[in-house]
Structure 1
Amino acid sequence: MRKVNFKNRDWDIIGNLHFPENFDYKKKYPAIVCVHPGSSVKEQTAGLYAAQLAKNGFIALAFDASFQGDSGGKPRFLEDPATRVEDIRCAIDYLTTLLFVDNDRIGAMGVCAGGGYAANASISEKRIKAIVSVAGTNASRAFREASPIEVLKAVAQQRTAEAGGSEKLINNWIPDSAEDAKKSGLEEMDLLGAIDYYRTPRGQHPNSTNQLLFTSMSNLIMFDAFHLAEYFLTQPLLIIVGDKVGAFGSYRDGFELYNKAASANKKIHVVKGADHYDLYDKPNATNEALEQMVPFFLDNL
């Protein structure tokens, strides 16, 4: 693995480039862009899949989104879907400059919101030849279902306050502990799974700070990751979801994308007994996902 950097506009995006075993600079390899979830960083689940894809013969690039982790850009902790999609395009730009990457064999995979962003990028970015979504979500759908008008009004008020000199408002993505969630009456399976992954030693990373710039919410609410997929998402598509259905909606979103995509070659695989966060790092679930993903990329890149 090698740390790399590339540009999105005038700031640096920092990534980890994973290499196959017995890598040979004189050869050409297929490459996969691995896109992390919201609130995540490259060392977490996207990096796990990148490392495993590299073991199976791919160049795999996991990177921190703009405004987050080791990557640059201001304001910090902004989750801007349009910029997240542009990050993917910039990652592909970078891969095409590497002499050992076959530019005609570049794929994309993403986890959770990263799956939605990878799908959205593929709608217009035809250098992506195949897409895999793991527990992928259309993140804006979840936010649109939770009092969106009131949230948009609150964002408007906050922007006015910040224009007048107030400090930026930064909230937590999720409660910091299961105890905090329970005290607030938020004992939902996916939320507790997120806390267990992000806020405990299981998956915790110091760069995954659980901080979200509140004004991001207007961008999240208005962005539809699957917009126009029925016309322009034509590449081979593999969707992987667990059958333990929680509130974050990856099961529902997976089937929506599957039904909507214009791809002639598309498949949805349901991992039995797995919930959303099992597909982040639990060996039984991730191994089954990889058993589907690796042959899919080998066949389509």
Structure 2
Amino acid sequence: MTRATPHHTTTPHSKDTAMEQVTFQNKGNTVVGNLFKPAGFEQGTTYPAIVVTHPFGAVKEQVSSTYAELLAAQGFITLVFDASYQGESGGEPHFSEFPSARVEDIRRAVDFLSIHPDVDENRIGALGICAGGGYTVNVSQTEMRIKAVAGVSTFDIGSARRDGVGPLGKQSPEYRTDLLKRSGQARTREAAGGEVEMFSLIADNPKFDMNDLSTIPVMYQEGYKYYSEIDPNPRFMGAFALSSLSQQMAFFPFEGIELISPRPLLLIAGSEADTLYMSQDAIERAKEPKELLVLDGASHIDLYWKPEYVPQVADRLTEFFAKNL
């Protein structure tokens, strides 16, 4: 059996990669994913592989597949999947965001790749976008099978739910307590067999006025446009089960980030992203080898789709994983 070596060239979006739908289990939930294989895939050769984790609210066919296909074109096997309780994956109540389940999804994805006949189990990396970056950083602290860790527009969902996003979205302690009370009440109703209450980060925040976009963080404005106009998908999670909010607030993804060392960590963010401080916080806490690449002029959402940024990001990710896997 031969061992594939990825190549590092600047490559446009490739349609030459092969994709197959796959499933794996996470504690009773069926997780549905897409596995991308490199152009020119050869049976009997083992390839390095990368688990690619999608943002909050997204589905596997959106930005995570954009990067998965670009990396597959460079010689990696890549795996994207819908989070448990979201997209095509199982779990009730659907449209819940449970950090513990999201972290376990990544571990189960590593399980899947570790026993896949076309994957070199000693050459598995992980990439996360937005909240997927936070989950990837978190699981990699204790998941030693992940040999190289990367995040794009990395998002600390725990901090965002406790405190809001940046100065514009800052939440008061009183509002946070009110949300936690409402989340607990929603759980009680569900336990009694009642209806699942949904919560929108924009529409249900009293600070935000849809008629005055200056009241809403740029990330949320651009995210709304991306998910509704640029890359829409009917399975996108526009609102989530309020009962899962308390678990989001309880999540501290960077708490043990120093444990990733001596494995390498790469974070990529835009200089204009209202979430840049999250990547800066993570890198400050991490130990070497670590790198924060800041792309001048880019916002959080720009790194999802804009042609002036995505190839740059994919090129750096390819270089990083080719060197470290």
Q: In structure 2, what is the equivalent of residue 214 of structure 1? A: 242
Contact 1:18–1:51 (CA under 8 A) maintained in structure 2? yes
Rounded Cα–Cα distance in structure 2 between residues aligned with 1:161 and 1:11: 23
What TM-score results when the alignment is normalised by the length of structure 2? 0.86
- Determine which of 78, 81, 86 is the counterpart of 2:104: 86
- Determine which of 75, 80, 99 is the counterpart of 2:93: 75
Rounded Cα–Cα distance in structure 2 between residues aligned with 1:165 and 1:93: 35
Q: 1:223-263 CA deviation, whole Å, 9 max, x = no partner?
A: 001121134554200000000132xx2x111111111113x
| Pairing 1:298–2:316 present | no
| Pairing 1:29–2:58 present | no
Q: In structure 2, what is the equivalent of residue 111 of structure 1? A: 129
Rounded Cα–Cα distance in structure 2 between residues aligned with 1:230 and 1:300: 18
- Determine which of 171, 177, 181 is the counterpart of 1:149: 177
Rounded Cα–Cα distance in structure 1 between residues aligned with 2:127 and 2:246: 26
Where do residues 216-255 of structure 1 align in structure 2 (5 Å cutoff)?
Answer: 216-246=244-274, 249=275, 251-255=276-280
Q: CA deviation at 1:62?
A: 0.6
Matched letter for residue 101 of structure 2: T
Q: In structure 2, what is the equivalent of residue 161 of structure 1? A: 189
Rounded Cα–Cα distance in structure 1 between residues aligned with 2:160 and 2:110: 28
Matched letter for residue 254 of structure 1: S
Contact 1:174–1:195 (CA under 8 A) maintained in structure 2? no
Q: CA deviation at 1:218?
A: 0.1
Rounded Cα–Cα distance in structure 1 between residues aligned with 2:293 and 2:106: 24
Q: Quick one: structure 1 residues 140 and 210, their matched pair in 2 at CA, closer, same or farther if it must change by over 3 Å?
A: same
Rounded Cα–Cα distance in structure 2 between residues aligned with 1:234 and 1:208: 36
Aligned length in residues: 294
Matched letter for residue 227 of structure 2: Y
| Pairing 1:7–2:25 present | yes
Q: Please give the secondary structure, in 2, of the residue aligned with 1:28.
A: strand
Contact 1:28–1:101 (CA under 8 A) maintained in structure 2? yes
Q: In structure 2, what is the equivalent of residue 199 of structure 1? A: 228
What TM-score results when the alignment is normalised by the length of structure 1? 0.93
Contact 2:103–2:135 (CA under 8 A) maintained in structure 1? yes
Matched letter for residue 208 of structure 1: F
Q: CA deviation at 1:186?
A: 3.5
- Determine which of 266, 269, 284 is the counterpart of 1:259: 284
Matched letter for residue 183 of structure 2: V
Q: In structure 2, what is the equivalent of residue 182 of structure 1? A: 211
Matched letter for residue 273 of structure 1: G
Q: Alpha carbon RMSD of aligned pairs, Å?
A: 1.8
Q: CA deviation at 1:11?
A: 1.9
Rounded Cα–Cα distance in structure 1 between residues aligned with 2:250 and 2:278: 16
Rounded Cα–Cα distance in structure 1 between residues aligned with 2:37 and 2:209: 41
Contact 1:244–1:276 (CA under 8 A) maintained in structure 2? yes
Rounded Cα–Cα distance in structure 2 between residues aligned with 1:175 and 1:300: 43
Q: In structure 1, what is the equivalent of residue 67 of structure 2? A: 49
Contact 1:174–1:194 (CA under 8 A) maintained in structure 2? no
Instruction: Name stretches of at least 5 consecutive residues in structure 1 with no aligned partner.
Output: none
Contact 2:63–2:305 (CA under 8 A) maintained in structure 1? yes
Instruction: Name stretches of at least 5 consecutive residues in structure 2 with no aligned partner.
Output: 1-18, 164-170
